[in-house]
Structure 1
Amino acid sequence: MKNNIKELIVVEGKDDISAVKNAVEAQVIQTSGLGLEEKTFNIIEKAVNTTGVIILTDPDYAGEKIRRMINERVPGCKNAFIPKKEGTKNGNVGVENASPQAIREAIDNVKVTATAAKAEHTMESIMHLGLLFGEGSKERRQIVGDRLGIGPVNGKQFLNRINSFGISLRELEDAMEDLKKES
């Protein structure tokens, strides 16, 4: 039996809609890529105040740009992230390539931007953890980002996301410990 999701799920295209509906029962809307229309923003704005909104875009540059555009225009959206490795098939990256289980896990681990988020983390603190600069930092950041459910991002975006989603130092340290155990 599929989980019933009350929030409106925002994806990029028709194939993404099919993949999401194969994983969960939900209302889904597409952005048609970067060509977000005013009517789409209006639907998202209305839904964020009624049912809620989950943004589930592709784990690539365009998907991140669309996510950023929506979050800037419509505060209060939730964000779900599919790890890039889970959304890649034959070199093609997208939600449509993710398994139903990966989609359900992304939705289960949705992140909400904390109101009045306190900047607990700094560039120095994530550098000290080996997640910024140096050999292997990009790979470590991607693995830790996947574990935390915040997606693959560069160092500056990583810092912004862990602070804006209210990820504690303990959560970050636990993800780093899991990474060390696997190495």
Structure 2
Amino acid sequence: MIKEVIVVEGRDDVSAIKRAVDAQVIAVGGFGINKKVIDKIIDAQKRRGVIVFTDPDFAGEKIRRIITKRVKGIKHARITQKQGTKDGDIGVENASPESIIRALNIAKFETIEKIETFSVQDMMFFKLTGDIKAKDRRDAVGGKLGIGYANSAQFLNRLNSFGITKEELLVAVKNAEKEI
């Protein structure tokens, strides 16, 4: 059983999580996050901790930001866009139980103080920007690190915000190259 309460977007995501792990799950119902739902998440965070696990798309990231702004100290679990896509539909509900379990196992805390470990030059060196396959590489590397897919600027921000080390990035890039 997962100790933390997992926060997802909707009912289909709850079903996918329950197929993968034994856990308590809260569905926020999309953008309609009201005070009652936020209070429920805050209570869960105080009692057991919370892992936010939203879809790897714009809407999922917006919901994640809303929760993160109001509830401090949460973990973030992410799947890649590839892991969450089925028949053109993207979401946690499409991920395999193995992908969900892996994402939960490598869920990350956002650091309170962002440390500028990485720069744009690092992004270029690792071909995470400025390369024809940069988007695919960011998706694969983000999956390996548990920080998900993002555009170049946001990916750099996540590398620094989640305390990723140069060694972790190097290993993730090497492993991701096999998939690209």
Is 1:150 the equivalent of 2:147? yes
1:120 maps to what in 2? 117
Give the deviation of 1:181 after TM superposition.
5.0
Give the deviation of 1:182 after TM superposition.
5.3
Distance 1:22-1:180 versus aligned 2 partners, 3 A rule: closer
1:135 maps to what in 2? 132
Which of these residues, 56, 71, 74, is aligned with residue 74 of structure 1?
Answer: 71
Give the AA of the match of 1:151. Answer: G
Q: How far apart, CA to CA, are the structure 1 residues paired with 2:99 and 2:131? A: 30
Give the AA of the match of 2:142. Answer: G
Distance 1:93-1:181 versus aligned 2 partners, 3 A rule: closer
Q: What is the aligned residue count? A: 180
Query: Given that residues 78 and 146 in structure 2 are in contact (C-alpha distance below 8 angstroms), is that contact kept between their aligned partners in structure 1?
Result: yes
2:164 maps to what in 1? 167
Q: How far apart, CA to CA, are the structure 2 residues paired with 1:22 and 1:139? A: 28
TM-score (norm 2): 0.93
Query: Given that residues 137 and 177 in structure 2 are in contact (C-alpha distance below 8 angstroms), is that contact kept between their aligned partners in structure 1?
Result: no
Give the AA of the match of 2:108. Answer: K
RMSD over equivalenced CA pairs, Å: 1.4
Q: Comparing both structures, which one devotes a greater share of its residues to strand?
A: 1
The unaligned stretches of length 5 or more in structure 2 are: none
Q: Which 4+ residue blocks in structure 1 deviate beyond 3 angstroms?
A: 179-183
1:50 maps to what in 2? 47
TM-score (norm 1): 0.92
1:85 maps to what in 2? 82
Q: Percent identical across equivalent pairs? A: 48
